[in-house]
Structure 1
Amino acid sequence: MSKRNKIIYWIATLWLALGMVATGYSQLSKEQEETDFTAHMGYPTYFLTILGIWKLLGAIAVLIPKFPLVKEWAYAGFFFVMTGAALSHMATGTMNNIFPSLLLLALTITSWYFRPADRKTISVNQ
């Protein structure tokens, strides 16, 4: 892996983890703004607890060494959650709040694409 790719990976991964921890914490603490917005989008309040826990666990998974299969699941979960969030914003007409979802989606894809071989489930020897 080139130095450039390693830098891209770590920047994307650290920002992704920071974003997931921040939003996960916000969801777990059930701040009034968060619960109001969730209700406006038509989701039950307990959904915040589920999302918050999984975001925190996913952030840990992408940062710790080893466990490539767990990392794949975390990246997949982040992808589904962020695409679901973006589509929910589109469906409810809250397009002014779509940017964080799209940013975290872009960071998920970037981190996944540039991850080192030892963080992949299958590595190809070249």
Structure 2
Amino acid sequence: MTTNQRTAKERKHIGYWVVTGLLLFGMVAGGIAQISHVKVNVDGMIRLGYPLYTMRVLGIWKLAGAVVLVLPGYALLKEWAYAGFFFLLTGAVMSHIAAGDTFFQWVAPLIFSILTVLSWYLRPANRRLPSTSVVATEPQSI
């Protein structure tokens, strides 16, 4: 491996942890706020028309997903956590837009949606599922 390749790999690794750290901060802070029924979250859920009990469910799942992303191994659970974050956050963006909220009311879930995709894309090989693709070989004669 050349120095440039090593440097690029190191930059990707650092980028992964920076992006993932920001994502995890948002998911943990949001999860705690939702579980605690912080007033701003309660007001937002009421404005969007969601029942308040969903806050506790979403908060618990955010915290669980954050734990899974930090733990070594559990590649399949990591895929589920990324998918859950992506659906949750893009759903939040769409809910805010559908409710007529301003850009500043839905920019945070949009940013965290982007962080989710970036973290998933930049994740190291040991945090990915093993490849399931079949490598093409010589054509078989019949």
- Provide the TM-score with structure 1 as the length reference: 0.94
When Rg is computed on C-alpha atoms for both structures, the one with the higher figure is 2
Write the distance in 1 (CA, Å) between the matches of 2:29 and 2:39.
16
Aligned to 1:97: 105
**Which residue number in structure 1 is paired with residue 39 of structure 2?**
32
Q: How much is the aligned-residue C-alpha RMSD, in angstroms?
A: 1.3
- The runs of 5 or more residues in structure 1 that have no matched partner are none
**Residues 49-105 of structure 1: per-residue CA shift (max 9 Å, x gap):** 010000000011111111000100000000000000000010001122111101110
SS at 2:56 equivalent: helix
Cα shift readout 1:3-41 (whole Å, capped 9, x = no counterpart): 111011000111100100001111000012211210110
CA distance in 2, matches of 1:47, 1:62: 22
Provide the residue aligned with 1:71 in structure 2: 78
| Aligned pairs, number | 124
Q: Which residue of 1 aligns with 2:15?
A: 8
TM-score under structure 2 length normalisation: 0.84
Unaligned runs of 5+ in 2: 1-7, 133-142
Following TM superposition, by how much is the alpha carbon of 1:45 offset from its aligned partner in structure 2, in angstroms?
0.2
Asked if 2 retains the 8 angstrom alpha-carbon contact of 1:39 and 1:45, the reply is yes
How many percent identity over aligned positions? 45
